[in-house]
Every structure is written in structure tokens, then in C-alpha cells.
Amino acid sequence: MNLLVTGAFGWTEDELNVLRSMGHQVVFVQQERDDLPCDPSWVEGVIGNGLFLSHPIESFGNLRYIQLTSAGFDRVPMDYVREKQIEIHNARGVYSIPMAEFAISGVLQLYKQSKYFYDRQRARVWEKNRNLLELEGRTVCIVGCGSVGTECAKRFAAFDCRVIGVDLCPYENRLYAEMVSLDYLDEKLGESDIVVLTLPLTEQTTHLFAKERFSRIKNGSVLVNIARGAVVETDALLAALHDKLYGAVLDVFEEEPLPEQSPLWDMEHVILMPHNSFVGDGNRKRLAEVILKNLEQCRV
């Protein structure tokens, strides 16, 4: 297969040679927005992330295989991919562990008042705080029960939380006390202490959490968004943080980078990350394994 490989994965020459040893012709481009080192019509397979944001997929007339280095499909024109029956794979499972670790660490930072103690450590002030919370016994609602959601379920369950799932396509999974369809989301929000968003961004899920949905959420709950920023309407989130939520753990935002004037920066009960929760030292090994396995099993 004629493969166009991009710098979305930090390839070494030895790793590129592994692809060549499998019988593939390989060309490499570091930045996906740069001019391509080959004619798009030469390309039969792509390994990358946001290539089609800068280069129209229609120009790749012989494209039949896509391997994404991201978990989401939102940077690819999926209607075109389906129409042309292009085989496509995402990086399923690669980033799930660090994202789940971020989710639970963020909630623990809020529950254990980490900012409070950090500020006093810097000021050398010995001052107790009697308002710390425990995870044990809390109800955690995971909205989107794919690989990221399931890794979250494992970790919250280990803290003796009751974990319930809400998914577009519910299925049996022993990690969840129950799993229901999106139709029951409002009901489950009313009984959940922690809500973790890990679902993909689609037309159906854009602004899934807007003013009306936040009115259904349990008072004093924590919202964790490690999905996509547009799943949550920013103004509705800000309002909920003033009078509804205990706090929020946010890795993604409707506008990225988060504007300097955003009130979120200064909120003591908000944990922020710059779309960084996917980073972990095990990612490279997992992603390489996914790429090679999918190539070996390629149907085209």
C-alpha cells in the first residue's frame, strides 16, 4: 500500500522501516498542514490525525485506508468516508488510561481541597480544613461508555463508588451497576454526585449539556469533561458553577485555547487542563501496537 505517514505520531526511521518491511511504500510529512511530498492521487493509505483539515479528502482519489492517531473521528469527513467505503480506524484504547487517571485525580483534587492546601503550603501557613469529602459511596454517572468511560469506571469502582453508565448504545458490562440509553440521562443526572463526559462529538451530542440539562443535574455534583468542548455549552456551565455544581474538572473547551478573559481561569472550584489529559508515558507503545495490528489485519 502507498502510505502517507504524518508527524501526528513521532515516528523514528526504524519504525518507518518496519512499515516498509511489511511491503508498504512510505512517504512522510511532519506537519499535516504543509505541502505534501507526493501527489494525493498516489496515496492509498494515511496514518495521521488532522490531515484532511488542510488537504481536501476528495483530492485523494485512490484513498482506501485511514488510521487515525486520535480517538475521535470529528476531524474526518465521515460521510465521505462511508460513501467511498474507506476503511478507517481510530486510536481506540490508546489514551484511555491517562484520561481516566486525570478524571479521578481532578475529582480528588476538588474533594480534598488541593488548591487550598497548595496555597497555604506556599505561604508556609499551618491551617487545617474540616470540609474535605470522600469518594466512597458516591454515585458516578459516566456518559459515554467506550474505552475511556470504561477505564474511568474501573477507577471509580475501586474507590467503592456506585458507577452507572449512559450510552448511545447500552450494553452489558459488569463494571457498571447499570447502563441505560441517552433517553434516561436526565433521570440519572438527578441521582449522581459525579458526572463524567467521555462521549464523542456528533450532531446529537453538541451542547448536550446546556441550560435545560444543567437544571436536571444534582445540586453539589461535580462535572468532568474529557470528551469534546462543544458537548457542554460554556455559558450554561458558567451559570451552573455559580449556583449548582460543587465544581468542574475540564480538559476541553468550546474555544481552544481557552481565552485569557474566560472566568474559568479564576474559579477556585475548577480544575483546568489545556486539552492535555490524553498524555501518558504508555501512549507511544499502545499506539504503535494499534497501528501495526490494524495494518496487519487490513481488509483493502
pLDDT digits (tens, 9 = 90+) for 93-141: 999 999 999 999 999 999 999 999 999 999 999 999 999 999 999 999 9
Task: Tell me, yes or no, if 256 is annotated catalytic.
Answer: yes
36-79 confidence digits (pLDDT tens)? 999 999 999 999 999 999 999 999 999 999 999 998 898 999 99
Catalytic residue among 55, 64, 89, 228: 228
Query: What are the φ/ψ torsions at residue 265 (nearest 5 degrees)?
Result: -55, -35
The confidence score (pLDDT) of residue 299 equals: 77
Catalytic residue among 120, 162, 275, 286: 275
Q: Which grid cell sits at 31? A: 506537519
**One-letter amino acid for residue 18 of the chain:** V
Assess contact for 182 and 144: CB atoms under 8 A: no
Catalytic residue among 256, 268, 284, 289: 256
String of b and e for 139-172 (b: at least 16 CB within 10 Å)? bbbbbbbbbbbbbbbebbbebebbbbbbbeebee
Cα–Cα distance, 221 to 280 (Å, whole number) = 28
221-273 confidence digits (pLDDT tens)? 999 999 999 999 999 999 999 999 999 999 999 999 999 999 999 999 999 99
Looking only at the bridges linking them, the beta strands covering 245-250 and 221-225 are: parallel
The single residue listed with the C-alpha cell 449522581 is: 192
Cα–Cα distance, 276 to 273 (Å, whole number) = 6
Tell whether omega for the bond before 40 is within 30 degrees of 0, i.e. cis: no
The confidence score (pLDDT) of residue 206 equals: 97
Task: Tell me, yes or no, if 24 is annotated catalytic.
Answer: no
The confidence score (pLDDT) of residue 72 equals: 86
Q: Which grid cell sits at 286? A: 499502545
The confidence score (pLDDT) of residue 267 equals: 98
